[in-house]
A and B are shown apart, each in its own frame.
Chain A
Amino acid sequence: MNQKIRILAEQILVAMGIFIAFLLLFESKLMLPLWLQSAGRLHPLLLHFPIVLLVVALLMSFFENQFDAAGRLVVQQLSRTIYLTGVFLAGVTVVFGIFLSQEGGYAAEPLQGHKWTGSGLYFAGIGTYFLIYIRPISQTFARVASVFVVVGLIVTGHLGATLTHGEGYVLAPFQTKTLTTTVALEDAIVFEHVIQPILEQKCISCHNEDKQKGELLLVSQEALLKGGKSGKLFVAGNPEISLLLQRIHLPMNEKKHMPPTGKVQLTEEEKTLLALWIQAKANFKLKITDLPATDSLRLVASRLLSPATLPEERYAFEPADAQTLARLQTDYRTIAPLAVGSPAVAVNVYNQAQFSRKTLEELLEIQEQVVSLTLAKMPVTDADLDLIASFKNLRKLNLNFTEIAGTTLPKLSALPSLHTLTLTGTKVTFGQLAKNLPQLKSLKQVSVWDTDLTPQEQTKLQKLFPGISFALGFQEESAAPLQLNPPQVQNQTLVFNQKLPVKLMHPIRDVEIRYTTDGSEPDSLTSPVFKSLIITENTKLVARAFKKGWYGSSSVSFDFLKNSFQPDSLRLLYPLNRVHLAEGAHTFFDGKLGAIGANNPAWANFWAGARAQDMGVEARFDNPVTISSFGLHYMIEEDTGIFPPEWVEVWGGNDPEHVKLLMKLKPPMPAKGDSPTLKIAQGSCVPVSVKYLKIVARPLTAIPAWHRSKGNKALLLVDELFLN
């Protein structure tokens, strides 16, 4: 290296030393411009150069004796240049490191260590450079100094790595993983186990003894109560005016938002917890289980601490023999390993008729391995609990809707790991539970819905056992009344021949159906109660359902329609619309009524339609029938252009050649905006005996002027004809 440059570099070295000393002295007064922050962030990149260069230079000085004199000189020159560059870059690294440390967010202890060893190393570097290359003392000294610098490098580097990767990063793979200490829910203290960890994770890096930003310390209870520069941290019981919550809820771009931009933010859950804790008077001693079961703080906090965050459970027992498992499998008893490679099995039993005590006895072969047993709806009695108690590793026991009454519940105390017990729909009593549950030490969940327990007893249970969560379920009594759904008609068809026994039903037990036949609205007092009803004429039945504890249903109406004569043969006179063929001529006498709404299958299948041509059908009877009235059932949906027929003609006689017009009907037309309906065009005549009928209906030839399709032909849809 050029002599001049070297001397310049050596001077810079000393100057930088002074600069660093200055930085270290006035660190707390430092205000960095933004671009220097970026420079600071180059620290982790830069630091690799001095490490490599210094180690290489020192190694070279170690091995310089291996060369002859000329070679030694070259090596010495080279190592000196490298060492100088190394120390120079070490200085730059230290300066950048100090800049970076201003950003904050690093653990205080290793940061201090790293800072002092790092800058110390720089000064040691200058010193050793001087004593090795400029005023060499002895080779031994040079070597000792070299070792000293290398050790310093290792220590500094390690402390730096701890800053970025955390404590014990290097050795972590060798250490057996210790779980974060989890605390049992009943022992958990809200502050210590919920609030403090939040502060530690998200706040303490800037508010600790070493780095009291805003003069705020969050390390102890006293410090928390003291607050910081801007005043007290919170007002116990009043989260709305608490400074802490104001700061964490400020918008991100606000300068005072905490944690500051660039730091890991608080989650919604954590914010809620902080607010709820302050709401609960910021009590430092409060236990989670001291809170009422439905308290928000308790719910959110216990969710955070719930064992669900625990890793997969390990079982201490050996797996059962695969052949044994296969042998015990039946169609009604499923035995399944919890997971591939897990020794634990879950057993589910089905089919009451197949169940006996033997079903359980056979399982004793694998009594160690069963961790979950589902016996819901099986005729299991209290006497069977002694058997169940021998599955000593049982975690979950489902006894829903069994014949358990709870007298032998103490037997289950032989199950040290049982955490979930479901007793829904059993005959267990409050007394039994209150007396026996304390003996089941690990219990976490019990369901007692649909038992004889009163709501008061259930609340009492929850109070008695704060560590257990009780599934109480839906309370019929406390629910608001609901409206019943309307009655249904069960007759296959509403079209009948001579008389029809009406079948009305309601799916809900003990519902009273009341009805009218005059078209009026039935009420719960005066209208007749439906028991049986036989109709012989066209009838409009309106019905409603009533039951105590429910609101009455809306009313529903059914049109029962009489058709006395079924033609022996039928033929269409003109083709139907291609898309409204239904069952052809048979459509009109098949008893199947169409419905409104194109989504309904009854729309597509039961309506015969015509538009361009008349709709016509001829009916023949083997024996003469006496006709006195006629009806045609059709749909109106003016919006989509479905209109009544313009006219309907009924011709009758004994054969096609000798017919006369029996009647001509002109149904009324709908008005604009009428909602879709089903109607009957009906007419009567002097009774006449016929063997042949010809019925012709003309679709409306010109839709009225008020309609958007005015002047066009309307669609005619007919599903049924009635002859009486």
Chain B
Amino acid sequence: MKKKFLVVVILILIISSIIFIILFNKKLNDIKLLSNSIDNDLINIKKEIVKKEEVLKNIKIVNKNQKNSLSNMKNYINSLNEKVKNYEK
């Protein structure tokens, strides 16, 4: 009787260990998948940031040029206004 009990206990322990190892491996796999997914997300978001930094840099240059253009245009309009005033004198 005692022998049988011992065998059952040992069997339970062995089976539990196997189940634990299987579940643990599954968990490790899930972690690996999560890690791969995060790696992909990191790559994608870094690419997106690089693109957007380029876009921002370009639009800042365009806006700076536009500001200069507007200032020059304003000066030109002022000179036209002067000419018109001279004609009216």
A, B co-complexed? no
Interface residues of B (CB under 8 A from A): none
Interface residues of A (CB under 8 A from B): none
